[in-house]
Amino acid sequence: MTPAFPFDLLIVGAGPAGLSAAVEAASRGLCVAVVDEFPEPGGRMLGQFHEEKGHWWVGRQVAEQLLDKCSALGVKIRCGVSVHSILRSGAEWVLKTSEGSMQARNVLLATGSAEIPHPLPGWTLPGVMSIGAAQVMANVHYVKPGRRGLIIGVNVLAMAISRELSVSGVSIAGIVLPGIGPITGKEASPKESLKELMGLAHLAPSPLMRIGGKAANALGMAGFVSRFIPRSGIKIWDIPLRLRTVAVSINGRSQVQSVTLADVNGEGAVIPGSQREELVDFVAIAGGLYPLAELASVAGCPFVYAEELGGHVPVHDEQMRTPVEGLYVAGNITGIESALVAMAQGRLAAATISGDTGLLGQHHDQEVQEAMQDVRRVRASALIQFRPGIQEARDQFYRKCGRFQREKNGIKEEG
């Protein structure tokens, strides 16, 4: 079914960024449609919940509030529709989807992020999944990923989701390191993992972030510390965090039956004779997130590599505008951050698009500036940060992108 007229704004991705942008743009008078390939709208927010000042923040509830607003404003949301391609034709974008093509004057890519795998022997066995898959199965579809699982990879997502699984009654044998290999690199060593956790510790009061602090307290000072990490690990919410243990291989005939573990020294080298088997029926690999940005590339948008943001990021300015006319980005496609930041970015993108379309009149600049400040405010108070120093990394990124923006759009470089 192809609508006869082009939309003012077509949003790819019904996650926190896309839905927030839809509400904001529609309330300013734009005709907005959202497409998403997942069977229900809400994006990765659907499976998220975390403890915040004594109560639980539940992503699904936030998504439902946004969806109510969308339907009141007449935003058209199509789920179960994948966007394969995006082409500029005259003054319009044509998007090829699994259900025909759609046209729009402006496109906002809010496609979120994807997970980085940590391949290791046996990782193709049924029962091995990404940590996010375990989260989606348990929290979105209400099916346990298994009875007893092992988490491979130490990062914020691994900690958060282990806790979620464990409160749902899934037994977690532990969180271990992936081991240093050609793909994982040095971040898989006990020292680097500990550094990363401690770098996040200042983000208290989130209980999630106090893990870093707790790890540090339990272990003493950073730097020379990894030597002293107890081999048995330290318990975080009753889940053993084993920073001196690596997964060597995943074993099983037709599905996961066990994982071979080994102890390592501070630099990550396996201690001979320390290998043993842990019986589990599923394994979740937590390799971190990267921006899901293929469509931006297909649309002709240049990229800049920014490690702190999670990898290759489509060039865009702080107002969420790419150098490609009529193409905007918001949410995790611009760098890995939490859902609340994605929502603020969505509102900002909508303000920018409304301004560029001439809908904001003379207050254009002021409204966009306010939305920009809001993103910074939300970021500064975010309870979950995937990497330390995110605002500095953003500022650096915008400076790098300034050159593209000036050349293409005649926009003045920020800062």
Partner 1 sequence: MDRIENHPILGPRKSKREPVDFTFNGEKWAGLKGEPIAAALLAVGIRTLRRHEESGSPRGLYCSIGHCMECRLNVQGKGTVRACLTPLEAGMCISEGERLPNEITGRRLP
Residues that bind partner 1 (CB under 8 A): 37-39, 44, 49, 56, 58, 60, 80, 82, 114-115, 117, 124-130, 132-134, 136-139, 141-147, 164, 167-169, 254-255, 292
Contact 348, 375 (CB under 8 A): yes
- Interacting partner of 364 out of partner 1, ligand FAD, none (Cβ under 5 to 8 A depending on kind): none
Using the minimum distance from each CB to partner 1, give the nearer residue, 45 or 198: 45
Taking CA atoms, 235 is separated from 56, 143, 208, 230, 372, in Å, by 22, 26, 13, 11, 40
Taking CA atoms, 260 is separated from 45, 263, 275, 279, 409, in Å, by 33, 11, 7, 9, 55
Q: Out of 11, 30, 31, 44, point to the residue binding ligand FAD (CB under 6 A).
A: 44
Contact positions with ligand FAD (CB under 6 A) in 131-160:
132, 135, 157, 160
CA 64 to chain CA centroid, nearest Å: 20
β-strands 113-115, 289-291 pairing: antiparallel
Contact positions with ligand FAD (CB under 6 A) in 314-373:
331-332, 338-339, 342
CA-derived radius of gyration, the chain: 22
Q: Which two tokens stand for residue 335?
A: 């760098």
Q: Out of 9, 10, 11, 17, point to the residue binding ligand FAD (CB under 6 A).
A: 17
Closest to 249 measured CA to CA, from 264, 261, 263, 232: 261
Smallest distance, Å, CB 136 to partner 1? 4
CA 174 to chain CA centroid, nearest Å: 23
- Taking contact as CB under 6 A, which single stretch among the options 41-49, 141-149, 215-223, 304-312 is the one that binds ligand FAD? 41-49
Using the minimum distance from each CB to partner 1, give the nearer residue, 58 or 218: 58
Closest to 27 measured CA to CA, from 346, 319, 352, 354: 354
Q: Out of 82, 101, 168, 391, point to the residue binding ligand FAD (CB under 6 A).
A: 82
- Interacting partner of 67 out of partner 1, ligand FAD, none (Cβ under 5 to 8 A depending on kind): none
- Taking contact as CB under 6 A, which single stretch among the options 44-52, 181-189, 209-217, 238-246 is the one that binds ligand FAD? 44-52
Contact 70, 62 (CB under 8 A): no
Q: How many CB atoms lie within 10 A of CB 232?
A: 12
Q: Does 381 bind ligand FAD (CB under 6 A)?
A: no
Binding site for ligand FAD (CB under 6 A): 12-18, 35-38, 43-45, 48, 82-83, 110-115, 132, 135, 157, 160-161, 289, 292, 295, 331-332, 338-339, 342, 384
